[in-house]
Amino acid sequence: MKDEQIKIWWTTWIHLVDPDKKQIDKLVDKYDLHEIIEQDFLDFTTQDKIDVYDGCLFLVIRFPKYNTKTKKHFANHMHAILWKNFIITVTSHITSNVEKIQNQYRKEVEEAEADEKFKLSPYYILYMIIDAMYDKLLTWMNKFSLDLTKIEDAAMDANSITQETLSELLIKKRSAVLMRHIISPHSEILTELQSATMKFYKWDLDVYFEDLLYKTDKILSLVSIAHENTESLFDVSDTLTTIRTNKIISILTIFTVLLGILTWISGLYGMNVELPAQNYVWVFRWLLGWMIALTIGTMVYFKWKKRF
């Protein structure tokens, strides 16, 4: 549970991480928030949406967050309320980008020209937050693609995929599916946000929203490619496993044939009946020679047929 508040010129930004009911009640009472907003603040399972109220805009949007211990992604919900010169953001988990964005925002405000007063608005802060999240996702997607390439190269060199690698592939497949599920609604949400912002803010922020929409499409495209590559690696794994199994069965079949021939000969001369030349000393050497010759001949035959 964390509470951060900054004030830059006439814009105030309050950021909360996993707030408890006491903190939510304090915000609701202080800023006279709608009861629906209060319910959404307490429920971090709400799907992405935008609600427009008198004088303020309420946004719920989710971003993927990576757990370094489990090596899995999960949804990090962000709730945001925007007024003319005020913004409250609430996330279900700690977001390392917040402090970085705050420092960057201070710098941009200090360096803002006279025609860049839009940078003083909470709407620009919201753009910076979403933009930073997208940049982080693009970086992760590039790493995701590199990891898949390494797995594929290792599989091709070894002609097999280990159990550990298969587990890693399953995690990556799950991450790709989750990523697509989380990012897919963003295009619609950003389009609604762009339209709703025009009712509260006079400055033209279309170019920034278009930038976010472009990044959304790019992320979804990379996620689709990553998902296809993951599926392809599973197919490669199945193919390599099948080839490996067939090879093992072929070798076992050859040994079975060889042992069958030797067993037949030894069994024939092991019967308790009269057999040709059984009383001659040289018969054992002759049979042993035939058994060795048949073994070598059978192996040469299977080698010629490329069975092993």
Mean pLDDT by 10 residues, the chain (308 residues): 50 84 86 83 83 87 86 87 86 80 73 60 85 90 87 73 78 87 91 82 76 92 88 80 77 75 69 63 71 76 64
Own/partner pairs for 194-203, CB < 8 Å, 24+ apart?
196/50, 196/52, 196/57, 197/57, 197/123, 199/52, 200/55, 200/56, 200/57, 200/82, 200/83, 200/84, 200/123, 201/84, 201/118, 201/121, 201/123, 203/117, 203/118, 203/121
Question: 81: left (phi > 0), else alpha (psi -120 to 50), else beta?
Answer: beta
Class of domain 245-304: mainly alpha
Please give the structure tokens belonging to residue 187. Answer: 């295009």
| Amino acid symbol at 119 | K
Closest CA to 308 of 259, 255, 238: 255
| Amino acid symbol at 227 | H
Q: Which residues of the chain does CATH 3.30.460.20 include?
A: 2-242
Place of tokens 């990044």: 215
Q: What is the pLDDT of residue 216?
A: 93
- How many Å apart are CA 212 and CA 50, to the nearest integer? 16
Enter the CATH code of domain 2-242: 3.30.460.20
Please give the structure tokens belonging to residue 77. Answer: 């919900």
The runs of H, that is alpha helices, within 85-205 are: 97-111, 122-158, 163-183, 186-200
Q: What is the pLDDT of residue 1?
A: 45
- Identify whether the C-beta of residue 39 lies closer than 8 Å to the C-beta of residue 28: no
Closest CA to 121 of 214, 180, 200, 23: 200
Give Cβ neighbours of residue 193 (< 8 Å, ≥ 6 apart). 50, 57, 59, 209
- Identify whether the C-beta of residue 179 lies closer than 8 Å to the C-beta of residue 64: yes
- How many Å apart are CA 243 and CA 268, to the nearest integer? 37
- How many Å apart are CA 276 and CA 288, to the nearest integer? 16
* Residue 212 DSSP SS3: helix
- How many Å apart are CA 62 and CA 185, to the nearest integer? 9
Q: What is the pLDDT of residue 2?
A: 47
Q: Which residues of the chain does CATH 1.20.58 include?
A: 245-304
- How many Å apart are CA 178 and CA 170, to the nearest integer? 12
Q: What is the pLDDT of residue 259?
A: 74
Q: What is the pLDDT of residue 280?
A: 65
